[in-house]
Amino acid sequence: MENSIFSEEQIQHILKLYKQNKEKNKANYEKVKDTEEFKMKNRQRAKEHYHNNKHMKQNHYMVNKELIKARNSYRYYMKRDRVEEFKEKYPLRYEKLVHSNYIKQEQAAKVKEQKDT
């Protein structure tokens, strides 16, 4: 480590300070987390975040709508052991799931193999 900005001693000191800080913050959180004031502040912060970012959640859903629909359909057919029916009825959804790696290639091959037998 010729080009290191810090010496080994300095790195160890920085790591020690970091660990101490993490422990202090965790101890403080453990002490404060069950107080009513903390809970109210936390709830208020969560509400504000939800209201300020509601459009982001909607946008994420709209972008991934087809994938979500395909996943839900696939789960329905998987639960009932009717994956082949799903593949025949919704080939585009099945391809989308394989392409997005929701269904692994080995799993897809196994299903295909079962179909052939």
Q: Which residues contact 115 (CB under 8 A, 6 or more apart)?
A: 84
Phi, psi of 26 (to 5 degrees): -65, -45
Overall residue count recorded for the chain in this entry: 117
* pTM, full prediction: 0.52
Q: Are 84 and 115 in contact (CB under 8 A)?
A: yes
H-run or E-run covering 84: helix 83-89
Render pLDDT for 40-61 as a digit per residue (tens, 0 to 9): 999 999 999 999 999 999 999 9
What pLDDT band is residue 107 in, cutting at 50, 70 and 90? low
**Tokens linked to 53:** 């970012």
What pLDDT band is residue 1 in, cutting at 50, 70 and 90? very low
